[in-house]
Structure 1
């Protein structure tokens, strides 16, 4: 029972993160459409370029975990696809450990950077003086959720099961959908 509650919570977190990415993408659309619409009266949206840039970062980082879990990130499987099940499992473990270390490093340093921006009250130099720590939190926030997803997959592989990104790729192949294959 506890495992299924944790599974639902994690899957909900990944879905929520994808939802934030989707809202960020929709925000880009709104800003751009406002720019187009207001251009008729020679009115510019103050800080539109900055808003769009921050929303692009949010879209990218908050989409990572959901995309990873669905097997949609670029993955080079030339060697691992040829390995037997035992070797493949250990390669998966090694790659997931390295990925976890690298993403943890990114989370740490980008979070420290955002907190430094908060401490010095850093503001954007554009036409609207945004407090930069707020949009900077999208990087450690999204990368932190990706780190959770990587650790989730690491536990799955250590338990002897196939990672969800492999299962997702196999399901797509079984349907004859090779659109994600490179």
Structure 2
């Protein structure tokens, strides 16, 4: 599971970064064309909207994997190590259940759009299941990361990968 998690992390970072560069390039070209040529690439708004959703899911999953997801640290840090570990594990179990449920339902949504040949009411008439694929893909990646952390027994990790205990940070 660790190898799958590492592979998905590398792919997510690479795909997310590439997507950000592509979005930026499309917007810059569209601004250039609007300003200097009085023409616009009509598809840029639609495509960047789809890509923003994808980047959001990829970024959230990587943030979760790296232990940088938001939490109430000022309160959480006051708990004993055993309670932190327990609460972290409970959090991961609920996260995995939530992601598995959302993976199932967003997959049904994509399948429904595919079977019904739904298209976006836009200039490109994008088959709507294509941008919707970002939803189950994002939840799948998030689920793999949550299960990987559960398997490792890392209910709570500090951003540096330690359990966050003071003794570990001192090398004891």
CA distance, structure 2, for counterparts of residue 69 and residue 168 of structure 1: 12
Q: Secondary structure at the match of 2:82?
A: helix
Structure 1 residue 170 displacement after superposition: 6.2
Q: Secondary structure at the match of 2:77?
A: helix
Is contact 2:92–2:155 with CA below 8 Å preserved after alignment?
no
Secondary structure of the corresponding residue to residue 168 of structure 1: coil
| Correspondence 1:1-182 to 2 at 5 A | 6-39=1-34, 40-157=36-153, 161=154, 163=156, 165-168=157-160
Displacement of 1:102 in angstroms is 1.3
Q: How many residues matched?
A: 163
What are structure 1's unaligned runs of at least 5 residues? 1-5, 172-182
The CA distance in 2 between the partners of 1:169 and 1:15, in whole Å, is 17
Normalised TM-score (structure 2) = 0.85
Distance in 2 (CA, whole Å) between partners of 1:53 and 1:77 is 33
Distance 1:162 1:132 in 2: 37
Poorly superposed stretches of 4+, deviation over 3 Å: none
Q: Which runs of 5+ in 2 are unaligned?
A: 164-172
Q: Deviations over 1:42-92 (max 9, x none)?
A: 211122111010010011112222211222221223443222222221111
With the length of structure 1 as denominator, give the TM-score of the two structures. Answer: 0.80
The residue aligned with 2:167 is: none
Whole-angstrom distance in 2 between the partners of 1:15 and 1:67: 13
CA RMSD of aligned residues (A): 2.2
Q: In the alignment, is the contact (CA less than 8 A) between 2:30 and 2:40 conserved in 1?
A: yes
